[in-house]
Each structure stands twice: as structure tokens, then as C-alpha cells.
Amino acid sequence: MSDKSASISGQLQTELLIIGGGIMGLWAALQAERRGIRTMLVDAGAIAGGASGGLLGALMPYMPDKWDAKKQLQFDALVSLEAEIADLEAATGLSAGYRRSGRLIPLPKPHLRVIAERHSKDALRNWHQGNHQFFWNPLDGSPCGDGWPADEFAVGGLVQDTFAARVSPRGLTHMLARRLEQAARVAVTEGLAIEAIDAATSTAVFRDGTKVAFGHLVVATGHHSFDLLSSIGPALAKPLGQPVKGQAALLKAEIAPDLPLLYLDGLYIVPHEGGQVAIGSTSENHFNDATSTDVLLDDLLLRACRLAPVLEDAEIVERWAGLRPKAIDRDPMVGIHPDAERVIALTGGFKVSFGLAHVLANAALDAVEGKAMALPDSFSLAHHIRVAVD
């Protein structure tokens, strides 16, 4: 345990205990520091050793149509993330590999162009805030020239989304961890797995026998959160989510870092800094080995080379697989545990965590401080409980 944590009568105590040092737990710890809350952040392995230590880093907005509170929240989060990252970069001297490079979406069928024209008006109406206006531009050809993406996929033209961005998952998590080293009130401990939560005494019991008495506890253990939350009491007897495996790859290619992301039918091609390009990702509900890569990734790479032929000669730098937390209704899951008023869930980001985590963490900290969470209902733990019952 770090010397920033306090020990009283042999048992550790802290105002706030955060379990899990992925993107969710890291942001929660930073938000706690900003609010002056004495905090312990504990991870069973290394910080960002779970899903947050991946490769892809796409920051994709929801579609600009059918606007609602959930889409507005994500829009605001994707806008505010830019300033958050700039502040962190200034504080740490590190880079998160962030860039609002936009995205190109080829339209393989002519009728999709009509829908794209409609969404272009939706974006004008909904994708703006202050000086920011982002576009969903239907185009006849790629603004990047031949092959990004290949013409064969752009039968109906393509859409240029100027809002999408990307970040290096490892760059951002490393930067957050560095920022927490500078924090006065946050102690980080790696290699300590939580075993049980005793809600009656507000005590966390770790696998090595360590006990920590907490004022509040934030459960941010990714896909492990569902079982951990279930174990606390009868209200969540059935886990409210599941792990979904994803595979991705990192390539080295001679391409400009400001090229837009490409997206087609679940395939993401994400250019990063330094000629690196991430390809992702599979979505596997059933799997034998959480961390192995296989023919599903090979298929994805073949599809990527067809969509962007410039990648055909690219060197594969890394193949990677991990488990994302998918809550029962797919949206993130944040809120107070019905059987334990001092325990707050912060999980379930599934495929959009990196763009939302700073805002979700802020809401979780509001709950810690007894304030109302400014989140759409579908992001609340209570909503996921209702869905599970129906």
C-alpha cells in the first residue's frame, strides 16, 4: 500500500475506495482528487491491464438523428474530452495520441445516400455547441484520394463525419496514471484483488487478507463488475451484464497520422500517430480463451486490406484481445447499489467507454457526494435492473 493511504488500528481506512484501474477507475480517481476526497485506487493486476489497455481508441459519436438526452450527453462528453486531454498533457508532459481526425463511411448501396443526406441535416441541427459545429457530409468521392477507402465500397458515395476522433488507449491511461502519481489525495495500489464487499460494515476484503474500511466504494472492475455487484446482496442476484471478447491488431504503415478513421459494417480502421494503424474489432459473446487471437482477427485484417488497400504490405506490430463489459441493456451502468448505499457501480461502457468515461466518473462522484447524477435514465443502474426484471 502506498503511504498516501492511512492505517488505523491495523485496518486501512479511506474516504473513497475505487476498485479497478481501467479507464473508468482512473477517471474516477482523478475526479475524486479534484473534489478533495482521500482515495485509494486498487487493481488486481497492473493499471490498465484489462480492456482499457487495448489498441483501437476510436471515439465515435452516436448517429446525429433521433436526438435524445443520451446522444446529447455523449456529444458533450466527446467535445469536453478534448480540453480534458489538453489539461492532462500540460500537467504530465505526455501525449495521449488524441486527434479529431474525423471518419469516412463508405456507402455500399445507392439508397444509403438518401439516408445520408437526411442525416446531414440532423447533424447541422444537433452536432453543435458554442463555436463547435460538426458535419455529416455526403460526398461523391473520398477527400483523401484513391484507396482511402477503396472505390468498390463507395457505390453510393461516402459520408465524411467531422466529429469522430481517436486517442491512444495506452497513451491516455498511462497519462492518467502519471497524473495520479502527482495527486495529493490518491493512493494507487496494483496487484491486489478484491475478494468480497461487506456492505453492512462498509469493508472491502482483499484476497491477501487486507481489509479496507471505506466511506464509499466505486466498483469499476470492467466485466468483473457484474459478478462483484451481484455478490453484494439479493437485489442484483443475477449479474447485470457479461463480458464480450474483442480482437484487434496494430499495423505499421506509411500513412499520414491525420487520415480520417474508416468505418464499415463494424470494421474500424484507426490511423494513429507514428504510422501506426489499429484495426478492430470482433464482438464475441462466446469464447474459450479471453486473450488469444485467431482466424476471426485474420478475417478482420483481410477485410481491412480490401477496404484500405494501402494496408496490404503493412507490418503487423501486435495482435491483441480483451474482454469488454457489456451491461444488460448495452449502455453504461452507473449508480448506487440497491443493497448498499455506499457502493456505486461504474461500468458497462462496452464500445464507447473512452469517450464517456470522464463524464460517467463525474456522475459516480456526484453519487459519492450524495448529489443527483446528471445522466440519462438508460445509463443508470436502476434502468438496467428494470430491464433485467422485464
Residues near ligand FAD, by CB under 6 A: 19-25, 42-45, 49-52, 54, 56-58, 193-194, 220-222, 224, 246-248, 280-281, 322, 324-325, 347, 349-355
Of the pair 94, 193, the CB lying nearest ligand FAD is at 193
By beta-carbon proximity to ligand FAD, the closer residue of 74 and 156 is 74
- Name the residue with cell 426484471: 389
For residue 328, give the nearest of 257, 235, 263, 239 by alpha carbon: 239
Residue number with CB closer to ligand FAD (311 or 356): 356
197 vs 311, which CB is nearer to ligand FAD? 197
Q: Are strands 186-190 and 276-280 parallel, antiparallel or unpaired?
A: unpaired
3-state secondary structure of 348: coil
- Which residue, 39 or 247, is less far from ligand FAD as judged by CB? 247
| Minimum CB–partner distance for residue 212 and ligand FAD (Å) | 12
CB of 89 to ligand FAD, least distance (A): 19
What span, in angstroms and rounded, lies between the C-alpha atoms of 178 and 90?
12
Q: How far apart are the first and last CA of the chain?
A: 43
Q: How far is the CB of 169 from ligand FAD (least distance, A)?
A: 6
Residue 370 buriedness (CB in 10 A; 0-12 / 13-18 / 19+): exposed
Q: Which residue is nearest to ligand FAD (CB)?
A: 22
Backbone CA torsion sign across 282, 103, 353, 183 = positive
Asked if residue 79 lies in contact with residue 236, where contact means CB atoms within 8 angstroms, the answer is no
Closest distance between ligand FAD and the C-beta of residue 273, in Å?
16
C-alpha count within 13 angstroms, C-beta hemisphere, residue 232 = 30
Residue closer to ligand FAD, measured from CB, 32 or 157? 32
Quote the least distance from Cβ 172 to ligand FAD, whole Å: 10
Return d(Cα 354, Cα 347) in angstroms, integer.
Answer: 12
Please confirm whether the linkage preceding 380 is cis (ω < 30° from 0): no
* Residue listed under C-alpha cell 472505390: 151
Q: How far is the CB of 119 from ligand FAD (least distance, A)?
A: 21
